[in-house]
């Protein structure tokens, strides 16, 4: 069974930084896909950043491009999301996601979702 546990959320002032972590069990990172999604109050869930292990592509939504960075530590079975220059509109519950190897690009993964999602961690950015 695939399990994902996110951590690192909290309250931060606008302009600050946070690093989210996601420890994954029951999943082999090699060639697989990883990603981060978020859902703000009253809005639909959106793909923030995704990485396709099959073709090596990385996707960032326009709203976070240049400020957020996705990375993995395979030895620790952990996915990270480094978030810099945070804005009030980044306030949301952030979810980590993984998928078995698929012949799709990262853009597709972030737009159409992944099979396994964590429970989420809340990020609140004060103006």
**Integer Cα distance of 23 and 78 in angstroms:** 4
What pLDDT is stored for residue 103 in this prediction? 86
Upper half-sphere CA count for residue 46 (Cβ side, 13 Å)? 16
**Longest CA pairwise span in the chain (Å):** 41
Helices (H) and strands (E) in the chain, counts: 1, 11
pLDDT in tens, the chain (127 residues): 999 999 999 999 999 999 999 999 999 888 899 999 999 999 999 999 999 999 999 999 999 999 999 999 999 999 999 999 999 999 999 999 999 988 889 999 999 999 899 999 999 999 9
Neighbours of 48 (CB within 10 A): 24
Contact 68, 48 (CB under 8 A): yes
Q: What are phi and psi of 104, to 5 degrees?
A: -135, 155
Distances (CA, A) of 72 to 17, 33, 49: 18, 11, 12
What pLDDT is stored for residue 105 in this prediction? 92
């Amino acid at each position: 069974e695939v399990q994902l546990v996110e951590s690192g959320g909290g309250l931060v002032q606008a302009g600050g930084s946070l690093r989210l972590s996601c420890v994954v069990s029951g999943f082999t990172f090699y060639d697989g896909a990883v990603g981060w999604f978020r859902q703000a109050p009253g809005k639909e869930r959106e793909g923030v950043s995704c990485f396709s292990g099959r073709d090596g592509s990385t996707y960032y939504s326009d709203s976070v491009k240049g400020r957020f960075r996705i990375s993995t530590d395979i030895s620790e079975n952990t996915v990270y999301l480094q978030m810099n220059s945070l804005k009030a509109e980044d306030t949301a519950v952030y979810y980590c996601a993984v998928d078995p190897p698929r012949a799709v690009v990262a853009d597709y993964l972030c737009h159409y979702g992944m099979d396994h999602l964590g429970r989420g961690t809340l990020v609140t950015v004060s103006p």
